[in-house]
Copies of this chain bind each other. A is one copy, B any other.
Amino acid sequence: MADNSNQSSNMGILIRSNLDQLTSKERIVARTLLNQYPTAGLCTIAALAEIANVSGPTVLRTIKKLGFKSYGNFQTMLRKELQLGFEAPLDRVNKSETSPNTDAPFVPYAEACLQNIGLANMSVNSNEFNAVISLIANENRPVFLLGGRFTDSLARYFYFHLHIIRPHVHIVPQQRETWPEVIYDLGVKDIIIVFDVRRYQRDVLLFCEQAKKRGSHIILFTDQWLSPIATIADHIFPMPTAVPSQWDSAVSTLVLLECIVAKLNERNHKSINARIKKLEALRQPLHSDLIGKEVP
């Protein structure tokens, strides 16, 4: 019975490495713990026993064999481990002086992004998604894009694609001095697409509050901690951003934006393609910057 009660490494490793010292029923408990990580271990003993189809005391014996003083102690450890994974990037880096992973530097980061996209996949509500598509697809409703310090380039990326696809797409300029004019003209037909992640910007919130007062529709892209704009937004997309970095990731949001563009395009590709053709014709005389035209 190893004393692991004070080590905070990894619950999964701990359980797995002690698996062979457990009896058959106890092993079922351990497997349940792994299979339904982390929530199984956060239930009561009775609930966990029920899931694993064993008795309460068997659960308790398992936990003790894994080296925990009590079930409560085990749960505390689990919670600590959990919190680490959920903590703000800054804290994370400082706490765990990361191991020098010299050889395959791209892998862990890419994996975290995969995870995030999967998460986004789950958290994006289909109805909300489709509602937003319909909203933006309506060319009679002007669209205004607004980003914060960290999200400006996302707003620009979306702007670039949207205003190829449809008319009346505008990006709210960075200079706040120009905002009053923009806000003054907003109305019930207008759609505000706003990006706001930590640290949330008060000025962006103020813009949205004014827009809301004028009846504009607000679509918010934010992080899992939710911008305060969430309280007034009509549609909210909380995107996962956790990666092994001091900085948050914008990847899952970009995936969603690209997907929205793809869907809009799909929805009325005929008129859009006609529009693109005309735009190209217009671009030609302005400057010819083509080199190796289309590639098969």
- Which residues of B sit under 8 angstroms from A89, Cβ to Cβ? 114-115, 117-119, 121
A79:B290 contact, CB within 8 angstroms: no
The residues in A between 79 and 135 inclusive whose CB is less than 8 angstroms from any CB of B are: 79-80, 82-90, 92-93, 96, 98, 101-107, 109-110, 113-115, 117-126, 129-130, 133
Give the contacting residue for A90; candidates B118, B129, B160; CB below 8 A.
Answer: B118
Pairwise interchain contact A259-B291, C-beta atoms closer than 8 A: no
* Partner of A38 from B86, B113, B230 at Cβ < 8 Å: B86
Copies of this chain assembled into the complex: 2
CB distance from A164 to the nearest CB of B (A): 9
Take A114-B117, A122-B85, A153-B156 as given contacts and tell me if A254 and B251 are in contact as well, using a CB distance cutoff of 8 Å: yes
CB of B160 within 8 A of CB of A152, answer yes
Task: From B38, B101, B254, give the contact of A254 (CB < 8 A).
Answer: B254
Q: A92-B122, A119-B85, A256-B106 are in contact. Are A243 and B262 (CB under 8 A)?
A: yes
A203 to B291, CA, bound (A): 10
**A12 at the A/B interface (Cβ < 8 Å)?**
yes
Complex CA distance for A152 and B153, rounded to whole angstroms: 9
Q: Could you name 20 residue pairs across A and B whose Cβ atoms are closer than 8 Å?
A: A12-B224, A39-B79, A39-B83, A43-B79, A89-B115, A89-B117, A90-B118, A105-B126, A109-B262, A110-B120, A110-B255, A110-B259, A113-B117, A153-B154, A153-B156, A153-B157, A156-B156, A198-B295, A200-B291, A247-B262
Question: CB-nearest residue of chain B relative to A203?
Answer: B289
Contacts of A5 in B (CB 8 A): none
